[in-house]
């Protein structure tokens, strides 16, 4: 027998994640309120037709995320760019290539120990910043991805991702070098790789951040 407060909680969470669609597993009784054995692929299947905000109308692809489903490290950018929208994968443009090089310098890669995604899953036209209303609709997808992956560390890439996740309107320099918390998982903020392409002078500080990130993942094992 399922208690009614558990049912209400389940329905509220489901509404947050999936809008008005209701998914019920008929596998066995104990799985009715427990989605802990859901895979990332199953979650993607449930949400990739999302039309909760206007970006659903303009996107080419729903850019869910890529990488190791058991990653220790989740990297979060702000939103897919043009290339990402076309290819359906986060960080595939020039900034993504630099990100891959940085990861390789700390002996990680997007397929091994790392998962890469964005706060928004759809490309905002003209690369504008995410709107608060879009973040409000989309952030529960990110939270659920993180709950499924259970990483040791989250890294927010750039000021927009950091301020959106931390709900603090601060310059990046005031959010760097601090271990924050995001729904129970440690989070640190560093430069967006596109900022490093624009300003080479930021690279030494970013390199210090990534060496620290490597140590933080190691320490938590
Ligand atoms: N910038 C981001 O923040 N995310 C991407 O996926 C690509 C560029």
pLDDT in tens, 143-153: 999 999 999 99
Which of 17-31, 143-157, 202-216 is least confident?
17-31
**From CA 28, how far away is CA 134, in angstroms rounded?**
35
Domains in the chain: ranges and CATH: 35-219 (3.40.470.10)
- Using most ligand atoms within 8 A of CB, pick from 63, 91, 165, 172 the residue to mutate for ligand 1: 91
How far, in Å, from the CA of 215 to the mean position of ligand 1?
A: 25
**From CA 119, how far away is CA 124, in angstroms rounded?**
12
pLDDT in tens, 163-209: 999 999 999 999 999 999 999 999 999 999 999 999 999 999 999 99
Q: How confident is the model at residue 22, as a pLDDT?
A: 58
Residue 78 Cβ contacting ligand 1 at under 6 Å: yes
How far, in Å, from the CA of 134 to the mean position of ligand 1?
A: 16
């Amino acid at each position: 027998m399922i208690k009614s407060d558990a049912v209400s909680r389940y329905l509220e969470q489901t509404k947050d994640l999936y809008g008005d669609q209701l998914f019920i597993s008929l596998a066995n009784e104990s799985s009715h309120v427990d989605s802990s054995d859901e895979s990332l692929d199953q979650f993607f299947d449930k949400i990739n037709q999302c039309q909760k905000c206007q970006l659903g109308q303009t996107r080419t692809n729903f850019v869910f995320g890529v990488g190791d489903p058991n990653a220790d490290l989740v990297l979060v950018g702000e939103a897919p760019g043009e290339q990402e929208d076309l290819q359906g994968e986060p960080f595939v443009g020039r900034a993504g290539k630099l990100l891959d090089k940085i990861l390789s310098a700390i002996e990680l890669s997007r397929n091994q120990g790392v998962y890469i995604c964005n706060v928004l899953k759809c490309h905002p036209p003209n690369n504008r910043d995410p709107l608060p209303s879009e973040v409000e609709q989309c952030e529960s997808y990110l939270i659920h991805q993180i709950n499924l992956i259970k990483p040791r560390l989250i890294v927010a890439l750039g000021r927009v991702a950091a301020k959106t996740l931390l709900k603090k309107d601060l310059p990046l320099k005031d959010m760097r070098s601090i271990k924050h918390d995001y729904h129970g998982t440690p989070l640190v903020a560093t430069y967006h790789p596109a900022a490093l392409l624009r300003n080479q002078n930021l690279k030494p500080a970013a390199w210090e951040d990534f060496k620290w990130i490597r140590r933080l993942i190691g320490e938590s094992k």
